[in-house]
Structure 1
Amino acid sequence: MSIYNKISAGFAIGSHEPVTSGIEDVIYIFNQDDVTLTFDPTNPLIVTGLTAVSNAKVYKFEGTNNSFNTVSKLVKTQVGPRYTEEIDFNIAGLSVDVKSQLHAMGYGRVCAVVINNYKSSDSAIELFGAVNGLILTDAERNAADETIEGGYKLKLTNPDKTREPYPPRAVSIGAQSGTPTYASTLAALEALTTV
């Protein structure tokens, strides 16, 4: 009996590139229908292109002091492994505009790109919600919470019963048919970002 998928390589963590936890205090979020994803034809774990549909934009959320976090959890199902993806972040604000964005994230599906603190990897930049998107499942505001000055604590995660078929995808975009680099990938993201 043949196994559907087989491992094909080993790995070792060297002392010259120690793993670093956490993500940078920036998240790029876009409506799932607003950006077309292009995947590497030989590896579905690599996103090689993000193309805005009808001049849509990617929205940049910035934080401070490690206020953002990501989680990817393997869940074994009857049809194979699936992944639950979560992104936690804070918004230090409670304007009508902030509330409007929270409302939209609770109904619509979004995708999010994060930048890992660990840069010595081909997954330094990752996409969450590639297939099923993410929705806002938690938006908690405690007016007396001094840690975020009365702002919102948010959680984006997969909608009910719709986990991802793969772990978070690596984002690796080249500049004008050049070899993809960390810098060219960031430049591609920034080019889609609203001012």
Structure 2
Amino acid sequence: MSIYNKINAGFSLGTAGPVTSGIEDVVYIFNQDDITLTYDVANPLIVTGLTAVSAAKVYKFEGTNNSFNTTSKLAKTQVGPRYTEEIDFNIAGLSVDVKAQLMAMGYGRVKAITVNNYKDSDSAIELFGAVNGLIVTEAERNAADETLDGGYKIKLTNPDKLKEPYPPRAVSIAPQSGTATYASTIAALEALVA
């Protein structure tokens, strides 16, 4: 049996639920070692569970007016495809607490979950940095920038030379009894929010 993936389905553009660009103005971020991930046994592209280590929490960052964005870029390497994952978002503030969080995300590794505007997909909610984590690689503040009112522009991406082996994972968490839905997945995330 081959170790390489094989295509197993086709797809077509839907007219009932056309693709919608962008993500919601929210990103859930947690320290890489604070939350244990459970994957679907049949499909490693699906995260089916998030379990806090000890009393660890997920931190929710909220924005406005489409101030968040995600990017996933394929890079061909000698050992196969790898993906560079990026999340751009803005922080409307410059307090000492904000600066401490930026430093923590620059030195430590985090993982992040975003919610796509396009909900007619099993990847409406996605995890970035599943294997190698993300770090802050850009934190820019221009005090005169009126669009951010002097806040920070942040970029989370993979550490140097540590691209992801898969594209962003779908997050689909079932309730105690029943099947996973968009609502049950958001409820599971919110239950871990600090």
TM range (shorter): over 0.9
Letter in 1 for 2:77: T
> 1:6: Cα distance to partner?
1.2
Letter in 1 for 2:44: P
1:23-102 residue pairs with structure 2 within 5 A? 23-102=23-102
Tell me the TM-score normalised to structure 1 length: 0.98
1:1-195 residue pairs with structure 2 within 5 A? 4-194=4-194
Instruction: Tell me the number of residue pairs that the alignment of Structure 1 and Structure 2 aligns.
Output: 194
Letter in 1 for 2:146: E
> 1:177: Cα distance to partner?
3.6
3-state SS of the aligned residue for 2:147? Answer: helix
Tell me the TM-score normalised to structure 2 length: 0.98
CA distance 1:137–1:41, change in 2 (3 Å): same
Determine the C-alpha separation between the residues in 1 that align with 2:178 and 2:128. Answer: 25
Unaligned runs of 5+ in 2: none
Determine the C-alpha separation between the residues in 2 that align with 1:188 and 1:64. Answer: 23
Unaligned runs of 5+ in 1: none
Determine the C-alpha separation between the residues in 1 that align with 2:160 and 2:64. Answer: 30
3-state SS of the aligned residue for 2:55? Answer: coil
Determine the C-alpha separation between the residues in 2 that align with 1:180 and 1:3. Answer: 29
> 1:13: Cα distance to partner?
1.2
For residues 32-61 of structure 1, the C-alpha deviation after alignment (integer angstroms, 9 at most, x for no partner) is: 000000000000000000000011000000
Letter in 1 for 2:49: G
For residues 101-139 of structure 1, the C-alpha deviation after alignment (integer angstroms, 9 at most, x for no partner) is: 000000000000000000000000000000000000000
Determine the C-alpha separation between the residues in 1 that align with 2:130 and 2:149. Answer: 32
Determine the C-alpha separation between the residues in 2 that align with 1:143 and 1:177. Answer: 50
> 1:4: Cα distance to partner?
2.1
Identity of matched residues, %: 82
Letter in 2 for 1:23: I
